[in-house]
């Protein structure tokens, strides 16, 4: 009898250990983001540096899109958003969440597994992704475009999100209490719609697993550039290159426009691959740049080593 009990107990423990997790393990996140070679958070997400996030705010959507496209990432843009504060720009590291239509037996398992992972036993599970946020994070959720009954947050959860992340949210779904949310200073939201209803007949299924946001596959630790023109989701390992390449493109354009106005070069000399004369002129122009360069001299030198402007 004791032997049977021990077998049953062992089977239960084994089953729980191998249950589908709500939150991805650090090992899993590292496995799906192997090209990131820098620092990581304890949860395994890539930790793109703050200065890259800050500089990304000054990058145009088209510039970032162009760099990613040249790298073979063709599905990184999503548009047609309802934006709470359209004139602000938001950048940050992504925490993902997946929602699905409610299924009682699966929801019961999700809640039990969440409690086993020491998640809050009180309230609805849509608060769980908020609990893991740290400063610099953006909460990105796929709620399958649900509007009525698909409102993941109102002003209370919005305040909690901003207190933890100093950022906002991107939901492929909806929020409620748009007026209250709009009054949270510094907070912003990119959503597909707004609705006064409460969340209903939907359930959280995962945190920090791959999700789909419209046309984009989003991974935990990706970086997002969110503007009134749309959102660009950037793999962590390409964030610095997107920033520096876009910054150089802007400087290149400034130089080219100035030299064309001065009549020093013909349009064909600026629009095609630069000659050694133009390239040297550009480097001299950079060395005497009247303002503050967006990148360090070392970053600039490293970038130009393998490129001919």
Q: What is the pLDDT of residues 108-154, one digit of tens each?
A: 999 999 999 999 998 889 999 999 999 999 999 999 999 999 999 99
Residue 245's alpha-carbon distances to 238, 242, 250, in angstroms, are 10, 5, 9
Q: Domain boundary at 236, 253, 288, which? A: 236
Residue 34's alpha-carbon distances to 20, 92, 232, in angstroms, are 22, 20, 21
Question: Which of 160, 173, 107, 162 is closest to 137 using CA atoms?
Answer: 162
Same domain, 166 and 279: no
Establish how many alpha carbons lie within 13 A of residue 178's alpha carbon, considering only the half-sphere containing its beta carbon.
Answer: 13
Same domain, 163 and 249: no
Question: Which of 118, 129, 137, 132 is closest to 203 using CA atoms?
Answer: 129
**Within a domain: residue 18?**
no
Same domain, 156 and 192: yes
**Within a domain: residue 222?**
yes
Same domain, 115 and 97: yes
Residue 15's pLDDT is 39
CB atoms within 10 A of CB 118: 9
Residue 304's pLDDT is 78
Q: Which residues constitute the domain of residue 261?
A: 240-304
Give the separation between CA 40 and CA 47, rounded to whole angstroms.
5
Same domain, 157 and 272: no
Cβ atoms of 195 and 147 within 8 Å: the answer is yes
**How many domains are contained in the chain?**
2
Cβ atoms of 173 and 200 within 8 Å: the answer is no
Q: Domain boundary at 236, 253, 271, which? A: 236
Helices (H), the chain: 2-17, 26-32, 50-56, 61-70, 104-116, 128-131, 155-165, 178-182, 239-262, 267-271, 276-287, 297-304
Same domain, 206 and 273: no
Give the separation between CA 181 and CA 158, rounded to whole angstroms.
6
**Within a domain: residue 151?**
yes
Positions of the chain with pLDDT under 50: 1-17
Same domain, 164 and 199: yes
Q: What is the CATH number of the domain that holds 130?
A: 3.50.30.40
Same domain, 168 and 258: no
Residue 11's pLDDT is 43
Residue 309's pLDDT is 58
Q: What is the pLDDT of residues 252-263, one digit of tens each?
A: 999 999 999 999
**Within a domain: residue 260?**
yes
**Within a domain: residue 14?**
no
Give the separation between CA 228 and CA 86, rounded to whole angstroms.
5
Same domain, 101 and 131: yes
Residue 302's pLDDT is 81
**Within a domain: residue 8?**
no
Give the separation between CA 100 and CA 260, rounded to whole angstroms.
55
Give the separation between CA 218 and CA 216, rounded to whole angstroms.
6
Same domain, 68 and 131: yes
Same domain, 226 and 250: no
Q: Domain boundary at 236, 258, 291, which? A: 236
Q: Name the pTM for this structure.
A: 0.88
Which helix or strand (DSSP H or E) is residue 93 part of? strand 90-101
């Amino acid at each position: 009898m004791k032997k049977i009990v021990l077998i049953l107990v062992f089977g239960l423990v084994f089953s729980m250990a191998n249950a589908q997790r709500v939150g991805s393990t650090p090992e899993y996140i590292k496995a799906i983001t192997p090209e990131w070679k820098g620092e990581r958070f304890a949860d395994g997400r890539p930790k793109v540096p703050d200065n890259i996030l800050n500089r990304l705010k000054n990058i145009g959507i088209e510039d970032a899109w162009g760099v990613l496209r040249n790298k073979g990432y063709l599905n990184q843009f999503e548009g047609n958003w309802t934006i709470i504060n359209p004139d602000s720009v938001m950048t940050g590291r992504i925490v993902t969440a997946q929602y699905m239509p409610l299924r009682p037996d699966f929801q019961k398992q999700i809640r039990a597994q969440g409690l086993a992972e020491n998640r809050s036993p009180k309230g609805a599970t849509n608060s769980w992704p908020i609990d893991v946020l740290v400063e610099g994070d953006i909460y990105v959720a796929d709620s399958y475009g649900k509007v009525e009954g698909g409102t993941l947050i109102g002003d209370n959860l919005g305040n909690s999100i901003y207190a933890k992340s100093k950022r906002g949210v991107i939901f492929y779904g909806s929020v409620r209490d748009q007026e209250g949310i709009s009054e949270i200073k510094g907070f912003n939201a990119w959503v597909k719609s707004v609705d006064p209803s409460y969340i209903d007949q939907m359930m959280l299924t995962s945190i920090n697993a791959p999700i789909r946001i419209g046309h984009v596959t989003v991974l935990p630790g990706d970086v997002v550039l969110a503007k009134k023109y749309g959102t660009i989701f950037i793999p962590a390992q390409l964030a610095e290159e997107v920033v520096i390449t876009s910054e150089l493109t802007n400087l290149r354009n400034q130089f080219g426009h100035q030299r064309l106005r001065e009549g020093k070069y013909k349009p064909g000399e600026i629009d095609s691959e630069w000659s050694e004369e133009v390239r040297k002129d550009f480097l001299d122009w950079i060395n005497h740049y009247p303002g503050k360069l967006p990148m360090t001299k070392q970053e600039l030198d490293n970038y130009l080593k393998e490129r001919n402007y």
